[in-house]
């Protein structure tokens, strides 16, 4: 604590008064109580009024619709889905699609954003200017416009399925998306996967051991042969003993489109690209600000300790910069997730499109569906920011700051 | 008196008082405001907040779904009408920015009946998926946006369909180069459709009942749907047939695309109002009937004034020179005169907007009057 002070005497009533009414005295307490009562009454009035209006108009209400048959198709479902499934299933399908786009978008945006942000700080004149131009162009154009550009402009240049661009007959690119051979699991799949899991475990243990040796005794252990052996060698031995775990089934053109194979639809690609390219421009500026916020002396101190440039960045500058970067970075992650609700503009079946769009207009239950959808986005946002706070706390722990 | 920072409400030079040791730069909000500032806060911010809240409450509480639509419309001085975002022939702005179309004419007719002025309409463009919410919430008074009459919309959505101004059915638009001649050859095709339409559900039903696979790509607006179809993302574009003809005009080369012969559903399109206001329901319903009856009685925009002098008792009743049928609706005696003078009868509107007199050139077909081989049949005005 900056200034040593005497602890205030434990007084209950003044404390309560301060909590409730600031220094305005009991009048303030009364004011707060009136305000709370007012807010509660307001909330009650809104709900009651909406109910009364809906009943007067005989609009269906309640959550019974969730078990009704949806009766419409969805172009991408991560779980088995058909038209005869219920609206609940549609909800899950949409939610998973939203999560997929958000997760991949966040990862991609982070990578691009860090690259551009570091590029802008580079002593290389051309690189710095290019990175600067990227940021200025991308962040100043509306996202919806960029989304439609990626979708329509890029889609229009791709050939139809019969004239697909192909790579050896295993990978196809056309205006229906990106089709790759589908992996088919064999009997030896699970043993090999198990071996890989064990390998990962061994690698982590080796890493922890090496770290302990470094910090406790200052010894540097060479662990890469162990890591390589456990990650690659172990599964390989099992695979050689039991046979290949996977084989690939090539897609074939049949009628209008390819049958078999895994297909990534263009809507997904366009949405992910647009979201991550757009968000990356903001992340780049955050990264730049974060690094500039670290005192130059830190870099010099690093090199005077004999650390290489990369090691100084990695061990000294970035951990300190991260404390500045993380909170606004969290905001960008949340923005990306929420912006993914633009999906319907390019026909990607995200939560907002299939649930707050199609389901809403089929059932007309706007209140229930908007409440559920808002709750879900809120939950995703809260979980993301909790995870980021936890990460920030870990980083802070590492710096011995808290 | 200490100088006060107007932003933080803290003295410019923090004076050490009992517990001023702020924990590491964090300022506890509201705890230590300067008295002068507190007065300002209380005086204006609080008051404004309170006024805003009260206004909000008044707005939400008083906004009941009451049976007041006619009065609301008259007080406002214009009708609020939900239309499409641009579907030539049905509802689209022309080059001067005036909304025109078959669906637009229904709203203009209602405005003519109320105000004797078909221009007193505010058009609200709505996507398929937003239209019902806009009507339920009272943002619009009538929805006239190529909307299919179905039982669930008529009941659980809290709406009333006032009649049918266009009998339609769903079809498919494909590129001629695909060499597809029937919808039954579309097994495995990708189909573009607009979300929140009956078309989306009919599509699923049709492919399922014919044991065909398909991929559906659903967009929020017609423009995006058509662009995606044009870029080659989809093999077919599905919608009500009249809309296929209309959207085809927007394509770069309309003649490269053909509508397949199969009509896979019934799509009776008509104007819609909210539940709970029978008078308003009657007004919109009888405005449409009046247009159809006027065609049947051969009352046109041109001859309506001369028809006023006729001896025919039926025409006299319809035009209000005999009886008070219009007043029973809450309108004036000459309501039909106003409608026909303002927008013409149903046949005139059809010809001008979607029929032979328009770019669409759709034949009357099912939409002919009942006594001419069609199914347009309006109850009598008497
Ligand atoms: N009649 C159907 C479909 C109506 C519909 O929205 N069709 C589209 C076809 S592309 C349309 O008219 N869109 C015009 C627009 O969104 O502005 C329904 O009521 O659900």
Residues of A in contact with B155 (CB under 8 A): 58, 60
- Say whether A255 and B128 touch across the interface (CB within 8 A): no
Tell me whether residue A347 is in a domain.
Answer: yes
Determine, for residues A1 and B156 on separate chains, whether the beta-carbon distance falls below 8 Å: no
Token pair listed for A122: 């580079």
Query: What confidence score (pLDDT) does residue B47 get?
Result: 53
Residues of chain B with Cβ-Cβ distance to A152 below 8 Å are: 227-228, 231
Backbone phi, then psi, for A206, in 5-degree steps? -60, -40
Check CB contact of A229 with chain B, cutoff 8 Å: no
Residue A322: give its domain's CATH number.
1.10.3720.10
Tokens 């434990």, residue located: A10
- Give the pLDDT confidence score for residue A9 in this predicted structure: 65
Distant-in-sequence contacts of A141-148, Cβ < 8 A, 24+ apart: A143/A274, A143/A275, A143/A278, A143/A339, A143/A342, A144/A342, A144/A345, A146/A274, A146/A277, A146/A278, A147/A270, A147/A271, A147/A274, A147/A275, A147/A342, A147/A345, A147/A346, A148/A345, A148/A346, A148/B224
Cβ contacts of B207 on chain A, cutoff 8 Å? 73
Tell me the two tokens of residue A36.
Answer: 């709370």
Residue B133 has pLDDT above 50, yes or no: yes
ipTM, two decimals: 0.78
- CB within 8 A of A210, min separation 6: which ones? A220, A221, A223
Asked whether the beta carbons of residue B21 and residue A2 sit closer than 8 angstroms, the reply is: yes
pLDDT band at B4 (very low <50, low <70, confident <90, very high): very low
Q: B170-175 and B257-259 as β-strands: parallel, antiparallel, unpaired?
A: antiparallel
Tell me if B123 sits within 8 A of B86, measured CB to CB: no
Give the tens place of pLDDT for each residue, A375-391.
999 999 999 999 999 98
Statement: residue A64 has pLDDT above 60: yes
Chain B residues lying within 8 Å of A357, measured CB to CB: 129, 195-196, 220
Cα B146 to ligand 1 centroid, rounded to whole Å: 6
* pLDDT per residue as tens digits for the range B306-363: 999 999 999 999 999 888 899 999 999 999 999 999 999 999 999 999 998 899 999 9
Atom of ligand 1 nearest to the CA of B221: 16
Indicate whether A242 belongs to any domain: no
Instruction: Name the residue facing B224 among A71, A345, A364 (closest C-beta).
Output: A345
* Tokens 């489109």 -> residue: A257
Which pLDDT score is estimated for B52?
Answer: 54
Structure tokens at B73: 């419309």
Considering only the beta carbons, identify the residue of A46, A53, A160 that sits closest to B232: A160
Per-residue pLDDT at B10 exceeds 50:
no
User: Would the pLDDT of B3 be above 60?
Assistant: no
CB B360 within 8 A of CB B89: yes
Q: CA-CA distances (angstroms) from residue B191 to A175, A267, B225, B350, B359?
A: 13, 14, 10, 30, 26
Per-residue pLDDT tens digits for A168-181: 777 888 888 888 88
Classify strands A165-167 and A171-174 as parallel, antiparallel or unpaired. antiparallel
pLDDT given for residue A401 in this prediction: 47
Give the closest residue (by CA) to ligand 1 atom 11: B222
With an 8 Å Cβ cutoff, are A59 and B275 in contact?
Answer: yes
Q: Please state the domain count of chain A.
A: 1
Smallest CA–CA distance, residue A168 to chain B, in Å, is 24
Residue B14's pLDDT band, with cuts at 50, 70 and 90, is very low
CA B154 to chain centre: 15
| Distance in Å, alpha carbon of A386 to nearest chain B alpha carbon | 21
State which residues form the domain around A270.
87-154+266-398
Provide the token pair at A45: 């009035």
Can you tell me the distance from the alpha carbon of A61 to that of B330, in angstroms, rounded to the nearest whole number? 32
Report how far ligand 1's centroid is from the alpha carbon of B83 (Å).
Answer: 10
B224: closest CA of chain A, how far (Å): 7
Say yes or no: A32 contacts chain B, CB-CB below 8 A: no
Q: How far is A160 from chain B (nearest CA, A)?
A: 7
Tell me the torsion sign for CA atoms B98, B99, B101, B102.
negative
Cβ of B232 within 8 Å of Cβ of A156? The answer is: yes
Q: Band of the pLDDT at A161, cuts 50, 70, 90?
A: confident
| Alpha carbon of B339 to ligand 1 centroid (Å) | 27
The atom number, within ligand 1, closest to the CA of B225 reads 10
Task: Give SS3 for A302.
Answer: helix
Nearest-neighbour CA in chain A from B84: distance (Å): 15
Cβ separation B201–A345 shorter than 8 A: no
Q: How confident is the model at residue A4 (pLDDT cuts 50, 70, 90)?
A: low
Chain A residues with CB-CB distance to B280 below 8 A: none
In chain B, what are the domains? 6-62 (no CATH), 69-167+269-372 (3.40.190.10), 170-264 (3.40.190.10)
In chain B, what residues touch A360 (CB-CB under 8 Å)? 129, 133, 196
Q: B371: which 2 tokens?
A: 């006594």
Q: Does residue A299 fall inside a structural domain?
A: yes
Measured in whole angstroms, the distance separating CA B286 from the mean position of its chain's CA atoms is 19
> What per-residue confidence (pLDDT) applies to A180?
85
Mutation target vs B (from A159, A345, A361, A366; most B CBs, 10 A cutoff)? A361
Chain B hits for A155, CB-CB cut-off 8 Å, are 228, 231-233
Q: Ligand 1, residue B200: give the atom nearest the CA.
A: 20
Quote the CA–CA distance of B196 and B265 in Å, as a whole number: 16
Atom of ligand 1 nearest to the CA of B147: 19
pLDDT tens digits for B141-185? 999 999 999 999 999 899 999 999 999 999 999 999 999 999 999
- Nearest CA to B174 among B185, B162, B159, B163? B185
Mutation choice for ligand 1 from B89, B145, B164, B197, CB with most ligand atoms inside 8 A: B197
- Determine the residue of chain A that is closest to B33 in CA distance: A23
Q: Would the pTM count as exceeding 0.95? A: no
DSSP-based three-state secondary structure for A136: helix
Spatial separation of the C-alpha atoms in residues A65 and A68, rounded to whole Å? 5
Which letter does DSSP use for residue B37 in this model? H
Model confidence at B1: pLDDT above 80: no
What residues contact residue B214 under an 8 Å CB cut-off, 6+ apart? Answer: A73, B186, B187, B188, B189, B190, B191, B203, B207
Please indicate, yes or no, if residue A168 is contained in any of the structural domains.
no
What is the structure's pLDDT at A242? 83
Candidate of B167, B228, B243 to mutate for ligand 1, largest count of ligand atoms within 8 Å of Cβ: B243
Report pLDDT digits (tens) over A297-347.
888 888 898 888 888 888 888 888 988 999 999 999 999 999 999 999 999
Q: Contact B24/A59, CB-based, under 8 Å?
A: no
Whether residue A319 is contained in a domain is answered as yes
Atom of ligand 1 nearest to the CA of B237: 10
Residue carrying structure tokens 């263009």? A266
Q: Cβ < 6 Å from ligand 1: which residues?
A: B 84-87, 127-128, 146-148, 194, 197-199, 221-222, 225, 239-240, 243, 247, 267, 269
Answer whether B220's CB lies under 8 Å from B127's CB: yes
- The share of chain A scoring above pLDDT 90, in percent, equals 48
Q: What is the mean pLDDT of residues B268-273?
A: 97
Q: Is A169 touching B (CB cutoff 8 A)?
A: no
């Amino acid at each position: 604590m900056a200034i040593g002070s005497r602890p205030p005497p434990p007084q209950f009533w003044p404390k309560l008064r301060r909590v409730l009414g600031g220094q305005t005295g009991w009048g303030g307490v009364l004011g707060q109580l009136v305000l709370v009562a007012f807010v509660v009454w307001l909330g009650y009035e809104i709900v009651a009024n909406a109910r009364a209006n809906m009943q007067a108009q005989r609009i269906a209400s309640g959550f019974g619709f969730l078990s009704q048959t949806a009766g419409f198709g969805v172009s991408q479902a991560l779980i088995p889905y058909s038209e005869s499934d219920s609206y609940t299933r549609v909800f899950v399908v949409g939610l998973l699609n939203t999560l997929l786009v958000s997760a991949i978008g966040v990862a991609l945006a982070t990578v691009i954003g860090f690259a551009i942000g570091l590029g802008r700080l580079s002593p290389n004149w051309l690189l710095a200017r290019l990175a600067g131009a990227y940021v200025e162009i991308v962040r100043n154009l509306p996202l919806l416009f960029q989304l439609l550009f990626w979708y329509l402009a890029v889609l229009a240049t791709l050939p139809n399925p019969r004239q697909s661009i192909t790579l050896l007959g295993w990978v196809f690119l056309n205006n229906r998306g990106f089709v790759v051979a589908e992996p088919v699991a064999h009997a030896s799949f699970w043993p090999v996967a198990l071996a890989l899991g064990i390998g990962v475990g061994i690698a982590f243990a080796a890493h922890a051991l090496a770290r302990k040796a470094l910090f406790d005794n200052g010894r540097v252990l060479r662990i890469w042969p162990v890591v390589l052996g456990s990650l690659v060698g172990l599964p390989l031995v099992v695979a050689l003993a039991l046979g290949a775990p996977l084989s690939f089934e090539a897609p074939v053109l049949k009628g209008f489109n390819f049958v078999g194979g895994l297909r990534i639809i263009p809507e997904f690609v366009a949405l992910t690209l647009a979201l991550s390219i757009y968000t990356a421009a903001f992340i780049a500026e955050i990264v730049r600000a974060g690094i500039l916020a670290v005192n130059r002396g830190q870099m010099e101190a690093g090199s005077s300790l004999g650390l290489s440039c990369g090691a100084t960045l990695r061990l000294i500058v970035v951990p300190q910069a991260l404390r500045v970067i993380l909170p606004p970075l969290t905001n960008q992650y949340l923005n990306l997730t929420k912006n993914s609700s633009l999906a319907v503009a390019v026909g990607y079946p995200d939560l907002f499109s299939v649930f707050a769009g199609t389901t809403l207009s089929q059932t007309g239950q706007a209140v229930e569906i908007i409440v559920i959808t808002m709750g879900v986005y809120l939950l995703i946002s809260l979980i993301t920011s909790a995870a980021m706070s936890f990460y920030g706390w870990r980083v802070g722990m590492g710096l011995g700051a808290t | 008196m200490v100088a006060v920072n107007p932003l933080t409400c803290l003295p410019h030079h923090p004076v050490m008082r009992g517990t001023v040791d702020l924990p590491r730069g964090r300022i506890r909000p509201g705890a230590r405001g300067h008295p002068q500032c507190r007065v300002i806060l209380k005086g204006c911010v609080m008051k404004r907040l309170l006024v805003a809240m009260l206004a909000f409450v008044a707005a939400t509480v008083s906004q009941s779904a009451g049976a007041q639509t006619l009065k609301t419309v008259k007080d406002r001085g214009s009708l609020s009408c939900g239309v499409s975002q641009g579907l030539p022939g049905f509802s689209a702005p022309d080059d001067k920015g005036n909304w025109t179309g078959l669906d637009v004419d229904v709203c203009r007719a209602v405005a003519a009946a109320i105000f004797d002025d078909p221009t007193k309409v505010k058009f609200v463009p709505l996507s398929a998926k937003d239209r019902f919410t806009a009507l339920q919430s009272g943002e619009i008074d009538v929805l006239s946006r190529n909307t299919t009459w179905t039982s669930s919309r008529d009941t659980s959505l809290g709406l009333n369909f006032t009649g049918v101004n266009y009998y339609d059915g769903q079809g498919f638009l494909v590129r001629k180069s695909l060499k597809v001649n029937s919808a039954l050859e579309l097994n495995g095709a990708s189909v573009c459709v607009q979300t929140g339409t009956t078309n989306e559900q009919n599509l699923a039903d049709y492919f399922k009942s014919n044991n065909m696979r398909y991929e559906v790509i659903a967009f929020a607006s017609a423009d995006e749907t058509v662009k995606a179809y044009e870029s080659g993302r989809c093999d077919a574009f599905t919608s009500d047939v009249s809309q296929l003809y209309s959207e085809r005009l927007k394509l770069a080369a309309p003649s490269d695309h053909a509508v397949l012969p199969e009509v896979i559903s019934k799509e009776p399109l008509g104007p819609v109002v909210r539940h709970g206001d029978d008078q308003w329901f009657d007004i919109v319903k009888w405005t449409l009937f009046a247009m159809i009856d006027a065609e049947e009685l051969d009352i046109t925009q041109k001859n309506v004034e001369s028809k006023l002098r006729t001896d025919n008792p039926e025409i006299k009743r319809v035009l209000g020179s005999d009886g008070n049928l219009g007043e029973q609706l809450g309108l004036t005696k000459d309501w039909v005169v106003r409608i026909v003078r303002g927008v013409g009868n149903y046949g005139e509107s059809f010809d001008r907007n979607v029929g032979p007199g328009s770019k669409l050139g759709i034949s009357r077909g099912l939409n002919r009057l009942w006594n001419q081989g069609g199914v347009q049949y309006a109850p009598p005005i008497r």
